[in-house]
């Protein structure tokens, strides 16, 4: 599956709006095909789609940040959860270098379980940024939901 030029060539708010719209369309397609997928698969696809949708809002300013540079934000996030026992979208925004990775990695994990895809822009890979991983995850999930990917045997 290739990279989507519509996502690849956009930056900043233009990327956000395009990514958000693509996620909404993908979630609509999932809703239309809901009954055609086994329960586990539709739940995993929804979790991945939601994670990509949420991450899109967090990646506008973090688009070139490598995946492994998140430790300070992770600590701030953890401290906030321990102090307040609550997390809101504003907290995700404040610690987006961690939370964006969390949502993208959640999507990657679920998509890998659904499709068996091995992600190139992931983990400690020096070639990958969070945005690269998001784009790759979106393309893989889009193919899965649209039925372009052969589902491994259960």
pTM of the model: 0.81
Distances from the Cα of 11 to the Cα of 38, 68, 142, angstroms: 36, 21, 21
Range from 22-26, 44-48, 79-83, 146-150 carrying the lowest mean pLDDT: 146-150
Domain annotation covers residue 154 = no
Which range marks the domain in which residue 30 is found?
5-146
Domain annotation covers residue 151 = no
Classify each residue of 57-68 as buried b or exposed e, where b means 16 or more C-beta atoms within 10 Å of its C-beta: bbbbebbebbbe
The rounded percent of the chain whose pLDDT value lies above 70 is 77
d(CA 119, CA 137): 8
pLDDT band at 114 (very low <50, low <70, confident <90, very high): very high
**pLDDT in the model for residue 149:** 44
The conformation of residue 117, written as its DSSP 8-state character, comes to P
How does pLDDT run across 55-86, given as a tens digit for each residue?
998 887 644 555 445 788 888 899 999 999 99
| pLDDT of 126 strictly over 50 | no
3-state SS assignment for residue 56? helix
Domain annotation covers residue 152 = no
């Amino acid at each position: 599956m290739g990279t989507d030029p519509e996502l690849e060539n956009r930056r900043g708010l233009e990327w956000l709006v395009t990514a958000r719209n693509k996620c909404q369309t993908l979630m609509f397609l999932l809703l239309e095909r809901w009954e055609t997928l086994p329960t586990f698969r539709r739940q995993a696809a929804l979790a991945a789609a939601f994670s990509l949708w949420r991450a899109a809002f967090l990646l506008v300013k973090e688009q070139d940040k490598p995946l492994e540079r998140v430790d300070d934000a992770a600590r701030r996030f953890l401290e906030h959860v321990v102090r307040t026992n609550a997390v809101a979208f504003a907290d995700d925004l404040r610690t987006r270098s961690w939370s964006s990775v969390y949502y993208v990695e959640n999507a990657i994990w679920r998509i890998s379980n659904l499709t068996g895809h091995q992600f190139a822009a992931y983990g400690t890979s020096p070639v990958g940024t969070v945005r690269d991983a998001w784009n790759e995850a979106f393309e893989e999930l889009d193919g899965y939901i649209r039925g372009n990917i052969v589902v491994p045997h259960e």
